[in-house]
Amino acid sequence: MTELTRRQRQIFEFLRDNYERFAYPPTLDELCESLGMASRGSLHKHISALIDAGLIEPFSGSKQTGIRLTAQAQRDYAACEHALPYVGKIAAGKPIEALADVHYLPVPALLKSDKPCYVLQVKGDSMKEAGIFDGDWVVIEQRDYARNGEIVVALIDNHEATLKYIEQSPGKVLLIPANSAMTTQIYAPEQVQIQGILVGQMRSYRVH
């Protein structure tokens, strides 16, 4: 699963979306001008990373040497046109471990909703009995309300974030783990801010 920085994704999307604009694959100078980048060296660094990721390749034609998408990248991203921001890791009772630079992950359409979504990686086993394991990626629909029984990202006291089932009633909010060894957390409604609900899940079986 290829992770792109915001700038790398901007370059990739420009090449994908403007394929027909150029008679030949654009040069670094043309990309700099089109993307409003002052530093050719900075662009070259991002281009090198995209080449290493197998997403783009140099192309030497009869007129000029330019940059184009690889055939595999065109196939992969055609099947997953809208990648989602991967914003960090979530563990019970801790702030979200935000990334210094937002990355993007390709997510199949069936795993997300038609509303704004983002991706978090799960740390810990508080939801293992719901089939959500340490290291899984969860797709979260961004909204500030939930129905009872949904799995939510909840921000507690504007500091700690957690992924739990939610039950709401007048005067209290229950955040319920899917782990029989853990206890339900009880809060006043004003302590809990819902930041989204779980709509999809992804897992890698690759051995690191």
Q: What average pLDDT is seen over the chain? A: 85
Q: What pLDDT is stored for residue 75 in this prediction?
A: 65
Q: Do domains 6-78 and 81-202 have the same CATH topology?
A: no
User: 6-78, what's its fold?
Assistant: Arc Repressor Mutant, subunit A (1.10.10)
To the nearest 10 degrees (0 to 180), the angle between helices 28-35 and 6-17 is 110
81-202: CATH, from 2.10.109.10, 1.10.10.60, 3.90.1150.200, 3.30.200.20: 2.10.109.10
Which residue ranges make up each domain of the chain?
A: 6-78, 81-202
Model confidence at 177, in pLDDT bands (50, 70, 90)? very high
> Could you tell me if 201 and 189 are in contact, meaning their C-beta atoms sit under 8 angstroms apart?
no
* Per-residue pLDDT, 8: 87
Active site residue 126: yes
What's the one-letter identity of residue 160? E
Cβ atoms within 10 Å, residue 68: 19
Q: pLDDT tens digits for 15-29?
A: 877 766 777 788 888
Q: What is the DSSP letter of 205?
A: -
Query: What single letter denotes the amino acid at residue 103?
Result: H
More confident residue, 42 or 163: 163
Taken as a whole, the chain contains a residue count of 208
Q: Measured between alpha carbons, how far is residue 122 from residues 117, 119, 164, 186, 202 in Å?
A: 16, 10, 11, 22, 10
Residue 37's pLDDT is 86
Question: Distance (Å, rounded) from C-alpha 24 to C-alpha 65?
Answer: 9
Query: What confidence score (pLDDT) does residue 64 get?
Result: 62
Which candidate in 89, 112, 128, 164 is catalytic? 164
> Which of 126, 128, 169, 180 is flagged as catalytic?
126
The candidate with the shortest Cα–Cα distance to 118, out of 78, 149, 90, is: 90
State the average pLDDT over residues 150-175.
Answer: 95
Count CB-CB contacts under 10 A for residue 84.
21
* 0.85 exceeded by pTM: no
Whether 45 sits among the annotated catalytic residues: the reply is no
Residue type (1 letter), 53: A
